[in-house]
Amino acid sequence: MSGVRLLVGTRKGAFILTSDGRRQEWTVDGPHFAGWEMYHVNGSPADPNRIYASQSGGWFGQLIQRSDDGGKNWEPVGNDFAYQGEIGDHLWYDGTPRPWEFKRVWHLEPSRTDPDIVYAGVEDAALYRSSDGGQKWEELTGLRTHASAPKWQPGAGGMCLHTILLDPVNPDRIFVAISAAGAFRTDDGGVTWQPINRGLQSQGIPEQSAEVGHCVHRLAMHPSRPETLFMQKHWDVMRTDDAGDTWREISGDLPTDFGFPIAVHAHEPETLYVVPITSDSLHYVMDGKLRVYRSRTGGEQWEPLTVGLPQEHCYVNVLRDAMAVDTLDECGIYFGTSGGQVYASADSGDSWTAIVRDLPPVLSVEVQVLP
């Protein structure tokens, strides 16, 4: 029977949760890197023993850690992140120019086919690539030096490149999302980029339908349909069926369309999951009820999933990288909360169990299905 490994990044360390394919009983290992902010921990689809972790702290800066034995042992690898070429400026919160400054790695995306190739999305927004297991990093400068980049501004959490989607069919196509600039696509391996924000409407920016300036919270893709992307935006759940050339809203009957994560069922490319929260100023679930919403129709029609989730006096949030989906026959869905709980569903969201409680606030959740 296959095993399942959850990789959980928190404000105060990383945790590894393991179970067999039934996903009923879990072993909790950690904290790894206790006391450090672990913005993202992600495993290689090509090698289940290879795991990358982004370790960040105010005193000692940014480190990339790598494990080659499933998280039992770790070693720091190359941390030579440096902006390449002319630095220039972007806009600050108040609209004044500000130099680009490297702060931390928000997201790590290993290649689907090569465990030594991994991409890193950083703050201030830039994209890096390593082809030697994280020892050396090269900036894909075409993104940060795009003609629109001087107009990019940070969102509330910083100007972070937080989503990286690698097209499983076309190795030269990559999608990224930046808060608060928008979504971008390359079709030539990262040499050139184009904004893909047509159809987005964002209140609070000078031009609501501008080419850039949108606060995209998360993108999701089903590997069988790389032309179709789903987006959770700062207000609005969106969909594109032409690789981002045009978007349409699919918020439908959601009680609120503000949230951070969005995920797609492993075997049903029209089944989506989001976690609506109250508003952009109240970052907790509505009415004290923790509800995941599922659409089986690709959006518009949504149903609340509540079995096993607290339905009173609950005021947690679920962050953008804190939801994951496994590939077992009965698809498993996982998410972590700002209250330190990690919930799992072994039946596509019909019912939920808290597999661990009282961790530090959860920043990211990823899942590996083990042979």
Q: Tell me: the pLDDT tens digits for 302-342?
A: 999 999 999 999 999 999 999 999 999 999 999 999 999 99
C-beta neighbour count of 95 within 10 angstroms: 9
Let me know how long the chain is.
Answer: 371
Radius of gyration of the chain from Cα atoms?
19
CB 260, CB 217: distance < 8 Å: yes
Summarize pLDDT for 174-204 with one digit per residue, the tens: 999 999 999 999 999 999 999 999 999 998 8
Question: What is the pTM (predicted TM-score) of this model?
Answer: 0.96
> In Å, how far are 37, 99, 137, 158, 300 from 155, measured between CA atoms?
19, 16, 25, 5, 27
Average pLDDT over residues 119-144: 97
Which residues, listed in sequence order, are joined to residue 362 by a DSSP beta bridge? Answer: 10
- Six-digit token pair at 83? 């902006």
User: Whose structure tokens read 């076309």?
Assistant: 170
When the pLDDT of each residue in the chain is averaged and rounded to a whole number, the result is: 96
Give the span between the Cα atoms of 165 and 43, in whole angstroms.
Answer: 15
Tokens (6 digits) for 353: 């169990």
pLDDT of residue 33 exceeding 90: yes
> How many Å apart are CA 4 and CA 264, to the nearest integer?
18
Tokens of 308: 């096993």
C-alpha distance from residue 133 to each of 51, 128, 156 (Å): 10, 13, 32
Q: Which amino acid is at 250?
A: I
Is cis: bond before 354, omega within 30 of 0?
no
For residue 235, give both structure tokens.
């207000």
| pLDDT above 90 as % of the chain | 92
Share of the chain above pLDDT 70, in %: 100
d(CA 310, CA 197) in angstroms, rounded, equals: 36
Q: Could you tell me the pLDDT band of residue 80, with boundaries at 50, 70 and 90?
A: confident
Pairing of strands 61-67, 51-57: antiparallel
Is the pLDDT score of 58 beyond 80? no
CA max distance for the chain? 57
Mean pLDDT of 44-58: 94
Residue 217 has pLDDT above 90, yes or no: yes
- Give the model's pLDDT for residue 1: 62
134-149 average pLDDT score: 96
Which pLDDT belongs to residue 11?
A: 97
Residue 168 pLDDT? 96
Q: Using CA atoms, how far apart are residues 355 and 324, in angstroms rounded to an integer?
A: 14
Q: Which pLDDT does position 79 carry in this prediction?
A: 86
Backbone CA torsion sign across 259, 265, 266, 268? negative
Domains of the chain and any CATH numbers: 87-364 (2.130.10.10)
Q: Which two tokens stand for residue 153?
A: 């501004």
Amino acid 50: pLDDT: 98
pLDDT of residue 69: 97
Contact 150, 159 (CB under 8 A): no
Segments in the chain forming alpha helices (H): 141-144
Q: For residues 52-80, give the mean pLDDT.
A: 93
